[in-house]
Amino acid sequence: MTELSGPVLLNGTAPSPTIDAPVSAAPRTVLHSHSFRRLMSAKRRVVVPLLGASLAYTFGVALLSGFAPGLMATKIAGSFTLGYLLVLAIYGACWVVSVAYVCIANRTFEPQAQRVSNEFRGDAR
């Protein structure tokens, strides 16, 4: 098994340390920047509630169909039942959540991501 926590050459051995490389020089990565962490935090604040609400609704409909079949069999119009209506509403909820995320992402996340990219490339504005 190959250990992936450190640099490894193709033959499975660790590279020899170079003398002229500074020991404390950490590679510059965007993952450790403050602006990237702020972007990920903002995305989490949006994605978690949207995903949580849609999953709660979907599992709620599934639980209702299992534990309250009489309620789900309530006729709305003709042979169209409350269960059909709630399942169709799942598709509507998915569309609403998707459109909401895209609007928020275009308005909020895209400018933040551009700032992170500019900062990492060195041309921060």
Q: What is the pLDDT along the chain (125 residues), one digit of tens a residue?
A: 444 455 555 555 656 655 555 555 555 677 888 888 999 999 999 999 999 999 999 999 999 999 999 999 999 999 999 999 999 999 999 999 999 999 999 999 999 999 888 888 776 55
**Under 8 Å between Cβ of 80 and 69:** no
Rg (CA), the chain: 25
**Under 8 Å between Cβ of 5 and 11:** no
Query: Does residue 68 fall inside a structural domain?
Result: yes
Helix (H) or strand (E) holding 86: helix 82-104
Q: Report the domain count for the chain.
A: 1
Query: Does residue 102 fall inside a structural domain?
Result: yes
- Alpha carbons 42 and 65: distance in angstroms, whole number: 35
Beta strand segments in 27-114, E: 75-77, 80-81
Query: Does residue 110 fall inside a structural domain?
Result: yes
pLDDT, residue 31, reads: 80
At 124, is the secondary structure helix, strand, or coil?
coil
- Residues facing 81 on adjacent strands: 75
Query: Does residue 46 fall inside a structural domain?
Result: yes
Q: Residue 70 is part of which domain span?
A: 31-120
pLDDT, residue 69, reads: 95
Query: Does residue 76 fall inside a structural domain?
Result: yes
Query: Does residue 35 fall inside a structural domain?
Result: yes
pLDDT, residue 9, reads: 54
Instruction: Quote the pTM value.
Output: 0.67
